[in-house]
A and B are shown apart, each in its own frame.
Chain A
């Protein structure tokens, strides 16, 4: 055996050392799982085709068989939303990147052969096996960067779970409210129909003008239109939920919601230290931090690689023109004359500074968002409570007194029905406020769970349940 064989063995040994790792199938998901469990009390599963998947689909089927609560809808979405499942694959990708970062570059084998010229004695040939040893030096740094990226990815995926949960919860609250709106719009239309019927009978008896009867008919038409709008709103909200819950076919049409929005809960979330809580739990900050870590690592790496990259060391055999073989080390390296790496360095440092600024910005924005969410929650509770404790009772009192005045023949049936209509309107307003309260609460919960993203930003402006005619005049 020669020195040659020794060198080859060394290289192979290093190669084997570096190829020891493989990519685990659900790397990082335990973090996501644990987060979902701890932060929102929900179960998540990564469906990658297996026995578990069957269990998941059974769990979904059984959830859908009973009237759904908001929690149920969220659970179904977390188990069944394909876009969320797609997000999990980000973990696989970054996990793979981490593994990749730990791999050595493959050794390079090169050779040459020069046939003998007529004048020359023999052909010359050479073989080289070389390994980039600079790569070997940077492997730790690369792994550090990839591991930061992996951390960021885990935070991102965990955030995606929270987002999906919150989005589904809000969509479900909207849907529940819409069901109640529909119920009340039906009542409203019934009241308008009754009013119109009375007016028709009065007209038939010759007691009122066509004008008076037509006004009632106009009110009825408006009420019917409002009812149609309420029906349409339900359908579109249901479809949004179907898409969030990943449902199609009979599953999409068969599920029912578990009735009305819950009343205001007695106990409010503890929002006294919402800023501190939000900062402590923030996945956005974790992500930003991991990004900054990665950027710092990258900046360090770039600084080194500009001076030391493509540093190949290996062994070569050469046959010279005497036809004798020589074995000896070979190496090659870059000479940083033209590109001394200043530009790359500057870019990496700028990138690092950017990530640090973003981290700080994230924190400031988070604090503000936390305060805003808290304020919205407090105000929404006050409005809903006011509706429940003042507006609705007083509207009912008006109705009660109207009934008495009707009995006393001081007001007519139209005014009485109009008072009834006002009670329905107050009911609609209460449900609106109650819905807004639960949405505000979902937003606070989302922030407290570690995510700064309004779960309801898509809703604003799209969800008004008020009729276009608002109040009809009497």
Chain B
């Protein structure tokens, strides 16, 4: 962690164009006075603020941000001190696709802020973007002046400035943080992250595995290397924690473990129905709080609306490799072009030979569907992953975007990717054998009877 003095130096260095120099008198600006009357009122209402800072593995089991990170902190005078630096980040969405995005602390999205209910926290926000910014703490109950809405609750943080936010968590749950200044640009380029606040006195069984996911969407034209934040409808990269399949890390759990999945959605324009195969789960909380057990209903798909978090839980009692993905079919494609002619059902005949006289590399595509597109190996624009899915144990996985895999195993040495599930023999769908067909009276040439 940076010391306060180092932070001042860092911000001074930014202002001085990279020169290592101490710039005296550059103030660290406070969004609000450190202790407001209102804040004190809330922090003394029995929900926390007077307790010692929560500690990982003592007071809570840390949340896992796959493909991401948790924001480190240090404790100064009983206050957890965090530092977010908004800056341009070269981010890889999946092997083969990198873009210049905006993130925090060198990551897209920003690291997950994790704390315990009752923790008093202080977040320094340094702006290394070319544009002024703010950070809004979505779903967090805090004093109005800490809410981070540019112009409304504070003046925007100019490039080179460092602002200070401070409040006490008087709730627990899953929240988010994101830019609240020129949102369209700044969120379109990735300025967002998750906030997880653990309860001091949890009710009910604790999860063994606790994962946080940020859902978002992007427009990155194949062959470019910067997301287009102006896009309104035609998004072509859909991400879980800033990664699209096959760039997503699998969720690994041991058989019988309780798994909690926290989803936040800060996509520009889309809700995401996240569907888990092999299980049903219960929706246990939103960013508004926990749902009483009597009101939790079983689901296999949880709709995560834009600007909301949804937390689901289930017991991993069904071993295997299970798909978990957004159920909107266009959200499990990578860099699909949406303005091309529909080629399905077209019989090219000798068309290819004719066109190849003019265009030697021509090939009619898509006439039988898109499934084969991913592994055709045709030359593509640089820095693009159109149609790309991933290699599976039995075939090509024709999925991209918001898709990942839950891997449940009976035995695990650690939570690294255990590889593909070995499906017990006789329990995997395969070519029907002739004697099966015969026995069951299935004619492959006639009509189903």
Binding site for B on A (CB under 8 A): 187, 190-191, 193-194, 197-198, 201-202, 204-208, 399, 401, 403-414, 416-417, 420
Contacts and interface: CB of A to CB of B under 8 A. Distances in A.
Nearest to B222: A408
Q: Which of A190, A208, A408, A411 has the most CB of B within 10 A?
A: A408
A409 B387 contact: yes
Given A406-B362, A413-B355, 10 more contacts: A190-B357, A190-B358, A198-B355, A207-B342, A408-B387, A409-B387, A410-B221, A411-B339, A416-B362, A420-B359
B337 A207 contact: no
A409 B355 contact: no
A350 to B, nearest CB: 69
B342 A208 contact: yes
Interface of B: 221-223, 335-337, 339-349, 351, 354-355, 357-359, 361-362, 364-366, 370, 373, 378-381, 384, 386-387
A410 B337 contact: yes
Contact of A405 (B348, B364, B366, B381): B381
24 contacts: A190-B358, A191-B358, A194-B351, A198-B351, A201-B348, A202-B343, A204-B347, A207-B343, A207-B344, A401-B223, A403-B362, A404-B379, A404-B380, A404-B381, A407-B380, A408-B380, A409-B336, A409-B340, A409-B365, A409-B366, A409-B370, A410-B335, A410-B340, A413-B355
Contacts of A202: 341-343, 346
Contacts of A208: 341-342
Q: Which one of B341, B344, B380 has the greatest number of beta carbons of chain A within 10 Å?
A: B341
A156 B358 CA distance: 52
Interface centre among A204, A399, A406 (most CB of B within 10 A): A406
Contacts of B378: 407
Contacts of A406: 362, 365
Most chain B beta-carbon contacts within 10 A, residue among A207, A410, A411, A412? A410
A232 to B, nearest CB: 24
Question: Which of B344, B362, B365 has most A Cβ within 10 Å?
Answer: B362
Contacts of A190: 354, 357-358
B340 A412 contact: yes
B359 A416 contact: yes
Contacts of B345: 205-207
A207 B347 CA distance: 12
Given A194-B355, A410-B222, A205 B340 contact: no
Contacts of A204: 346-347
A194 B223 contact: no
Contacts of B346: 198, 201-202, 204-205, 207
A410 B222 CA distance: 8
Contacts of B343: 202, 207, 413
Contacts of B381: 401, 404-405, 408, 410
Interface centre among B345, B348, B366 (most CB of A within 10 A): B345
A207 B366 CA distance: 12
Contacts of B373: 409
Contacts of B365: 406-407, 409
A409 B386 contact: yes
Nearest to B378: A407
A408 B361 contact: no
A386 B386 CA distance: 36
B96 to A, nearest CB: 12
3 nearest A-B pairs in the assembled complex, by CB-CB distance: A410-B337, A408-B386, A205-B345
Nearest to B356: A194
For chain B, what secondary structure do more than half of its interface residues adopt (helix, strand, loop), or is it mixed? loop
Contacts of A420: 358-359
Nearest to B373: A409
A207 B386 contact: no
Contacts of B347: 201, 204-205
A420 B360 CA distance: 11
A405 to B, nearest CB: 6
Nearest to A208: B341
A427 to B, nearest CB: 12
Contacts of A409: 336-337, 340, 365-366, 370, 373, 386-387
Contacts of B384: 408
Contact of B354 (A197, A401, A408, A410): A197
Nearest to B354: A194
Nearest to A414: B341
Contacts of A197: 351, 354
Contacts of A404: 223, 379-381
A387 to B, nearest CB: 21
Given A194-B355, A207-B342, A413 B222 contact: no
A407 B223 CA distance: 12
A161 B157 CA distance: 84
A38 B355 CA distance: 52
Contacts of A410: 221-222, 335, 337, 339-340, 381, 386
Nearest to A404: B381
Nearest to A199: B341
A471 B362 CA distance: 23
Contacts of A407: 361, 365, 378-380
Nearest to A206: B345
A205 B346 CA distance: 6
Contacts of B336: 409
Nearest to A407: B378
Nearest to B349: A201
Contacts of A194: 351, 354-355, 358
B380 to A, nearest CB: 5
A422 B117 CA distance: 65
Contacts of B387: 408-409
B223 A405 contact: yes
B161 to A, nearest CB: 40
A348 to B, nearest CB: 72
A399 B358 CA distance: 11
B55 to A, nearest CB: 49
Contacts of B370: 409
A401 B370 CA distance: 21
Nearest to B342: A207
Contacts of B351: 194, 197-198, 201
Nearest to B363: A407
B359 A412 contact: no
Contacts of B340: 409-412
B358 A207 contact: no
Nearest to B333: A409
A277 B220 CA distance: 63
Contacts of B342: 202, 207-208
A417 B355 contact: yes
Contacts of B361: 403, 407
Contacts of B349: 201
Contacts of A412: 339-341
Nearest to B376: A407
B333 to A, nearest CB: 10
